[in-house]
Structures are given as structure tokens and as C-alpha cells.
Amino acid sequence: MIEIDGGMGEAGGQLLRTSLSLSCITGKPFRIFDIRKARKKPGLMPQHLVCVQAAARISGAEIAGAEQGSRDLTFVPAQVQPGNYSFPIGTAGATSMVLQTVVPALLFTGSESRLLFSGGTHVPFSPPWDYLTDVFAPAVKKLGVMLSLTLERHGFYPKGGGAVRCKVEPVSSLVPLAARERGALRRISGVAAVANLPVSIAEREAASAVHVIREALGADTPCEVRVKEVKAFGAGTFIFLKAEYEESIAGFSAIGERGKRAETVGEEAAQEMVQHHRAGAPIDPHLADQMVLYLPLCREPSVFFTSRITGHLLTNLEVTGRFLHFSYEVAGDRGGPGTVRIRPL
């Protein structure tokens, strides 16, 4: 039984999700205690419970402590089974978080799986659906992972109601990653969207983002942000920006909320993108920690250069090491750019 201190590192839900994925893949049971110890509301929240239940469902796991507010969980998987699954997350729970929990485990089952998720698609503290389709899916495709992603309906906080589908193709092995260079910038594109709100909000978000980017990177920077209205049960707005380089893609986003100026939403995403661009790295900070789970499963070493070494990245490396045998090296200071090397043992 692997023992995991839920209070280590960032002490967030990522610890739990990574543990669930790797437990399903390796068949190794684990116990996690002091779950989300440093948070204002420690213990399992509804969105974390859905991840536990989803992982248990695909693996036939026995679980103990899977209750809202629980700070101690035991997870004992059986065998992961491919198939057609539906995961109703409820309200605005992040569909992206549940998807990223179950997809790695379903890769090695030998058969295709089709998944339906309902809940939030563009909500705080989680990758928006656009990031999954435009950045994450192309990145894991380089490793040999084939995902087909479809958005049927947007879902915003607090009503949710979004619906997304994912088809997971099985793999026999993964290709290592070598991402040291990104090449020249080809274009920056994006979308600013609103649901059941004045379209002028999205227009202001887009204008603000373009202004920040061109002021920082030059007036001739190729940058275009589309404005659109989307269908959803509730009201909401977001902006997603994508930087396409010769060898890589990076993505950044911001979510609107009551009392937050549209210009601020655009500025937040744009400033993150500018910071990434100036670092000269191919891998953005969000993708860096998401890739950590996959790379030790490759047969050969991997290396990547990221624009920011985050606490999430370091924590994910540590917890992944509890389940998989690999060595790693992080060159660079936390909060700054750095290179990560992962060598399977």
C-alpha cells in the first residue's frame, strides 16, 4: 500500500488525480491522508469525489473514505476495463479534470473507449475545453496518444450543464518527448466568448488582450482574437489565447466573474502569454505538469524546456515517483524557466 501525504507540495487536488490515474495503470493500491490540508475547506470536495468515483468505475476498485469532506482515502484497483462510460459531474465541476484522470488509465486496455462528461467546461482553476483540444491533445499526440474531443455544450460556473465527448484509442507504448526548442512564432490566435451576456463583454476582452500582446511584443505581432456567442444554461464568459510556434503550441486563458472587468480578463490571459513568450520555451507551465504523468511510461528518456517551473510540476514529479520507477532532474529555479529530464528505470 503506497502512503501519500496529501499535504505535501501544493497540497491540492492534483495529488489525488495523479495518484488515481497511476494506481489504475500500475494496479498499485494507495492511501492518501491529510487531503488538501492547506486549503480553506480541506478534504474531498464534490469535484474530487467524481474523479475518485470515475477511476473506481473504470478499474473496479474498492474504495474507503470516498465522502465529501473526507481527509483520508484508500483506493484499491482491480483491472481497468475499456468501454463506453458516462460521467455526470453535476453543476459546474470541471469536465477537464475528470477526463485527465481517466484517460491515462484507459490507454493501455487494448480497446477503444468512448466517454461522455457533463458539468463545467470553462470554470476556474481547471483547463478550459479549448486548452484540451488545442494544446493538450496535440502534445500527447506526439507521444502516440490519439484523442478525439468534441464539445457539445458549454458549461459555466455555477450552473454547469456542459457536455463533452472523448474517444480514447489504445496504445501499446509511448514515444518519448524531446522539446528543447520552439522555433519562430507563427501566430497568436484565440477566442473571447460570452453566453447569455452582452457580446460587448467579449469584444472588450479581445481588444484588451490584443493591446497587451502588441504593446509587449510589437505592433506587427500576428495576433487575432475572435469574438463569439455560445450556448449554455447559465451566463459566463472566457478568453483563450493560443501561441503557435514552429515546433510547439502554448495556451493561456482567463475566466470572467461577477465584478471583474472584461479588460482585466483579457489582460490576465495576455500577460501570461507574454511571460511565456519571453522565456523562449516550447512548453507552457500548465502543459509541463500535465505531461509528467505520461513521460515515465515511455521506454526512453524525455526532456523538455518549460517557461516556468511551478509547484504543481514539482509536486506531480514527486507523487508520480511513488508509483513509477524513474529518475528526474529539474534544472532551473522555481518560478523561472527550466529544463526537466525524465529517465525511466
- pLDDT tens for each residue of the chain, 345 residues long: 999 998 887 757 889 999 999 999 999 999 999 888 777 788 888 888 999 999 999 999 999 999 988 889 999 999 999 999 999 987 788 999 999 999 999 999 999 999 999 999 999 989 999 999 999 999 999 999 999 999 999 999 988 899 999 999 999 999 999 999 999 999 999 999 999 999 999 999 999 999 999 999 999 999 999 999 999 989 999 999 999 999 999 999 999 999 999 999 999 999 999 999 999 999 999 999 999 999 999 999 999 999 999 999 999 999 999 999 999 999 999 999 999 999 998
Start-to-end Cα distance in the chain: 21
- CATH, range 1-78: 3.30.110
Q: Are 69 and 46 in contact (CB under 8 A)?
A: no
Q: Return the CATH number of 183-279, one of 3.30.360.20, 3.40.50.10490, 3.40.30.110, 2.30.30.30.
A: 3.30.360.20
User: Which residue in 48, 154, 312, 325 is the catalytic one?
Assistant: 312
pTM greater than 0.85: yes
Q: Tell me the three cell numbers of residue 197.
A: 451576456
Q: In the structure grid, which three cell numbers stand for residue 185, read together? A: 512564432
Question: What pLDDT, on the 0 to 100 scale, is given for residue 238?
Answer: 97
- Contact in structure between 16 and 51 (CB atoms under 8 Å): yes
312 is catalytic: yes
- Report the C-alpha gap between 218 and 211 in whole angstroms: 10
List the domain boundaries for the chain: 1-78, 82-172, 183-279, 280-345
**CB neighbours of 84 closer than 8 A, spacing ≥ 6?**
113, 114, 115
For the packed helices 13-26 and 46-59, what is the interaxial angle rounded to 10 degrees? 0
What is the reported pLDDT for 245? 98
Q: Which CATH number fits domain 82-172: 3.65.10.20, 1.10.150.250, 3.40.50.720, 3.30.930.10?
A: 3.65.10.20
Q: Are the CB atoms for 54 and 66 separated by under 8 Å?
A: no
Give me the sheet containing 84-88, strands edge to edge. 84-88, 113-119, 162-168, 147-153
